[in-house]
Structure 1
Amino acid sequence: MNRLRVTPRPVLALTAIWLTTRALMLWLLTLGGARLLGGGAVSREVWRLYFHWYGVLTHGSFPVHDTLWQYPPGAGAVLLAPGLLPGLTYFEAFVTVTLAVDALTLAALLRAGTRPGRSLLGAAVWTGGLPLLLHLPLARYDVQVTALAVLCLLASARSPRAGGVLGALGALVKVWPALVLLGAPRGRPTRTAWGWAGWAGLACLALFAVRFTHPLSFLREQGGRGVQIESLGGTALNLARHAGWPGRTRYRYGAIEIVGPYAQAVATASLALTAVAFGLLVLWRVRARHWTEATPFDAALSAVLLFTVTSRVISPQYMIWLIGLAAVCLTSRHTRQRPVAVLVLAASALSTVAYPMFYGEVVEGTWAGCLLMLARNGVLTAAAVLSFGRLWRAARPPAGKTVPPTQPRADSDRLPERALSLS
């Protein structure tokens, strides 16, 4: 007689917590006009900016000569998705789609966490970490792109092909998910994942080029971005204002930037640091000899953290990416990123205090605003340094053992590539 499969109590508990916290996030969204909740600025991006782009996209073109459009063509598909839900306003449909994708991400993490030798801690981090950002995740499409990155990593453990395709789709929505394939085990898993990612990306770009005009219009708007007030460089320049530096804030490219003498030099320095971060990741990749099931997850979190802290722009929604990647890491009992995940959650909470709660203080450059951003960015920088350090040390073979470069110790190198499970 077949036994009925009983759902573990932790799964039921996490599901109940997810329902409760998402209801609270929806409630906060309805109160978004309150001053401490941003005075309506959080939700305005959906019903004004996203809806405007939706109108342009429905006419078969990507936005052209729009300084706010800085996203790859895959973002257009995400912004068009709410139009598939009849009977709802664009804002209502967008939030509904976001919640559905949020639930899908939780389901994937729960499935991964209930496998033998895995942990439900990752699902707990996603469930409890996202509400730290209040209602912001429901009014940005970063939940959707994070879901693609999460699914890419979980799928890659059993099917590098599926992981490569999902990674390509994520990169076409926002470029950063391309980084999650960095930790694929050396050898055939890497060639398979990167190869399928390349072909899937080219195929999707071809489809966008056939269906829409100006699919690469976003490229011309990226180079002109300056130093956002919430970045590490922006924090330094904001503090410099208290020492007499004559800079000021200005709304450009969809964000508050700091302009003035040496601001462009700071922006250039940020790009240089990003290049250094990329070089460190390549060096790790070349020298790494020891892989576990957690290595691809840990490498993804470390890579995105390094690119985040060296960016000219550290918007609060970036924390959604880091929460999602930290959650994937914690599905494995072999991860080295547990303390990093704690720092990511702390930085998320500080981000919420900065935006939307006291964003006026940050923009004005008061001591309170400067110290708040210094704390948030300091925690993020510590997380990035700690994450890469632990990733680097974990790449060395255990004492007394040698792992040949062509024979990575990774489960994904032994599992059949045709399996398309998500974890």
Structure 2
Amino acid sequence: MGDAPPRGIRHRIGGRAALWVAFVLVHGLLAWLNLFAPGYPMGDVTGVYRVWAETAQHGWLRMGIDTPWVYPILAFAPMTAALAFGAEWYGQAWLAMVAVLDAIAFSLLLGRGTFSLRRRAAAWWWVAFLAMLGPIALGRIDAVTVPFAVVGLLWAAGRPRVAATLLTVAAWIKVWPAALVASLVVALRRRVEVATMAVALSAGILGVSLIAGSGANAFGFVAAQAGRGLQIEAPLAVPWLWWIVAGTDEATIVYDRDILTFQVEGPGADAAAAVTTPLMALGVAAVLAAGVRAAMRRAPVATLLPPLALAFTTVLMLANKVGSPQFVTWLAAPVILGIVLGGSRFLTPAALTASIALLTHVLYPYWYGWLLIANPGFVLLLTLKVVLLFALLSWAVAKVWQAGSVHRAPRADAAA
């Protein structure tokens, strides 16, 4: 034990100050990569979001109101906010906005009271995860929703109505946090409060958009997603990519100028894209059934909520016709909650998620062109990523099932 660092050094390395230094350094690095790294990491932000925001600013076209849009209506709020310092500083303003939101969530994760080992581990994991995932961790609309999701899950048991509010707002920015709302409804005893708040807030958001003149365009994101083809990063696209690697002339990679994504085309690709929606429904139903079983058997919130949220989120990723690299950011919130509530019991999903993030960083953005030409090495990396996602889902579903395997007496929710 003589080689162990003095306690004071260990405290400084593992304390709040060290974590904040790491947080600032990682966000600074990711901001620099977004602005200057090869591969156009901020292409969606400066090339698409800014255009949408400017067209609305000039009174030409309001996405989601005057025309159908690929995103829910509240996605327009952060896109517009990034115009605060002018169009020429749009990218920098976007990165600063995301960093501030992350900082708020990070501060709440660290807390003001006793600095527990689990919260410290969760904070270090989040910083490492962001570094492993790379610039995409900040450079998409998904990055805005992650801090809402982190805080919403952390406050779920103790402040369910606040948690429902945060997660519902996030879901009206990008749909995926709706899965976390579903997790709360299943796992919490105060589920009626969660459901009531989510429904009421959603009705209010829809009402405001209708008053603004959206009409059916308020639901345009549903139809826009349904009309997509099979994007090359989608798990179901892997067989077609390997078919291209094998030298076929029947399958190819094309660019969809309407959706602004690269997709696979070939025999069966459209059918595979169409089947993703029923597959997602089946996957969500299976996870829901396992979660309801565990809740009916009085599974503790601390045992049930983290794997249930992780299972719902992973299903949305695997049964998705899009599969964009930024989807990996969704995994951060349930893993952070799992580490806070479960400690080392969440080591396996934490390691799997970090590995998925690292593989995603290799695939995008710097060498993304290799995937676009179906380079065998990069198709293999994408295949490995999909395998790890399946492993993550299997672990989460198994833990949800285990949580409901023992009958327990009724007990009150414990705050996270």
Q: TM-score range by the shorter chain?
A: 0.7 to 0.9
Q: Which amino acid in structure 2 is aligned with residue 16 of structure 1?
A: V
1:378–1:112 Cα change, 3 Å: farther
Confirm or deny that 1:279 pairs with 2:285.
yes
CA distance in 2, matches of 1:159, 1:234: 41
The residue correspondences of 1:262-273 to structure 2 (distance < 5 A) are: 262-273=268-279
**Which of 7, 11, 19 is the matching residue for 1:14?**
19
Deviation of 1:87 after TM superposition, in Å, equals 9.6
Residue 114 to residue 174, structure 1, CA distance change in 2 (3 Å):
farther
1:223-268 per-position Cα deviation (integer Å, ceiling 9, x unaligned): 1111111111111111122443611111121211001211012113
Q: Which runs of 5+ in 1 are unaligned?
A: 1-5, 413-422
State the Cα distance separating 1:409 from its structure 2 match: 5.3
Q: CA-to-partner distance for each residue in 1:334-392, whole Å, 9 max, x for gaps?
A: 68432011101101100111111322221111211221111111111111111211222
Is it true that 1:356 corresponds to 2:357 in the alignment? no
Asked if structure 1 preserves the Cα contact closer than 8 Å seen for 2:291 and 2:401, the reply is no
Matched, 1:393 2:402: yes
Which of 255, 262, 284 does residue 251 from structure 1 map onto? 255
Specify the alignment match of 2:180 in structure 1.
180
One-letter amino acid matched to 1:24: L
The 2-side partners of 1:268 and 1:115 are apart by: 48
- Partner of residue 34, structure 2: 29
**1:228 and 1:256 in contact (8 A); partners too:** yes
8 Å contact from structure 2 (residues 189, 413) kept in 1? no
1:292 deviates by 3.4
* Conservation of the 8 A alpha-carbon contact between 2:158 and 2:413: no
Pick the aligned partner of 2:221 from 206, 218, 222. 218
How many angstroms apart in 2 are the aligned matches of 1:45 and 1:192?
Answer: 37
Q: CA deviation at 1:8?
A: 9.7
- Corresponding residue for residue 332 of structure 2: 323
C-alpha distance in 1, partners of 2:372/2:20? 38
Q: Residue deviations 1:142-162, cap 9 Å, x none?
A: 121111111211122211111
The whole-number CA distance in structure 1 between the counterparts of 2:114 and 2:310 is 22
- Aligned-partner Cα distance in 1 for 2:370–2:180: 35
In the TM superposition, what is the alpha-carbon distance from 1:100 to its structure 2 partner?
Answer: 0.7
Equivalent AA in structure 2 for residue 314 of structure 1: G
Q: Secondary structure at the match of 2:342?
A: coil
**Residue 286 (structure 1) shift:** 2.4
> How far apart in 1 are the matches of 2:252 and 2:67?
24
Which range is displaced more, 301-310 or 345-354?
301-310
Task: Indicate if the aligned counterparts of 1:53 and 1:63 stay in contact, CA closer than 8 A.
Answer: no
Aligned to 2:6: none
**Counterparts of 2:372 and 2:206 in 1: how far apart (Å)?**
38
Q: TM (normalized to structure 1)?
A: 0.86
**TM-score of the superposed pair, with normalisation by structure 2:** 0.87
Instruction: Please give the alpha-carbon distance, in whole angstroms, between the structure 1 residues aligned to 2:209 and 2:344.
Output: 38
Which secondary structure state, in structure 2, belongs to the residue aligned with residue 403 of structure 1? coil
Distance 2:171 2:79 in 1: 15
Residue 405 of structure 2: SS of its match in structure 1?
coil
Tell me the residue number matched to 2:52.
Answer: 53
Matched-pair contact (CA < 8 Å) for 1:238–1:365: yes
In 1: Cα distance, 2:132 partner to 2:206 partner: 35
**CA displacement at 1:188 relative to structure 2:** 4.6
Q: 1:8 to 1:229 in 2, by over 3 A?
A: closer
Shift of 1:273: 2.2
- Return the structure number with greater helix share: 2
> Residue 72 of structure 2 aligns to a residue in which SS?
coil
Q: 1:57 to 1:112 in 2, by over 3 A?
A: farther
Structure 1 stretch displaced more, 301-310 or 239-248: 239-248
- C-alpha deviations, 1:59-98, integer Å up to 9, x for none? 372257978x411111111211223457972222111111
Contact 2:50 2:83 (C-alpha < 8 Å) held by counterparts: no
> Are residues 1:189 and 2:190 paired?
yes
Alignment of 1:103-118 (within 5 A): 103-111=103-111, 114=114, 118=118
CA contact (8 A) 1:229 1:257 kept: yes
CA displacement at 1:136 relative to structure 2: 2.0
Say which SS state the counterpart of residue 172 (structure 2) adopts.
helix
Aligned residue in 2 for 1:3: none
Alignment correspondent of 2:347: 338
Cα separation, partners in 2 of 1:144 and 1:186, compared to 1, 3 Å: closer
Q: Name the residue aligned to 1:415.
A: none
AA paired with 1:316? P
SS of residue paired to 1:268: helix
Q: In 2 relative to 1, CA 57–205 (structure 1 residues): closer, same or farther, beyond 3 Å?
A: farther
Distance in 2, Cα, partners of 1:347 & 1:206? 39
Q: Distance in 2 between matches of 1:199 and 1:7?
A: 46
Letter paired with 1:352: H
**Shift of residue 15, structure 1, vs aligned partner:** 0.8
Residues 112, 348 of structure 1: alpha-carbon distance in 2 compared, 3 angstrom cutoff:
farther
For the structure 1 residues 358 and 15, does the alpha-carbon distance in structure 2 shift closer, same or farther, using more than 3 Å as the test? same
Given the alignment of the two structures, is residue 231 of structure 1 paired with residue 234 of structure 2, yes or no?
yes
Taking the aligned partners of 1:116 and 1:9, their CA distance within structure 2 comes to 11
| 112-121 or 317-326, larger mean C-alpha shift | 112-121
How far residue 29 of structure 1 moved from its aligned partner, in angstroms, is 2.7
> CA offset at residue 180 of structure 1?
0.8
Q: Aligned pair in 2 of structure 1 residues 394, 63: CA closer, same or farther (>3 Å)?
A: closer
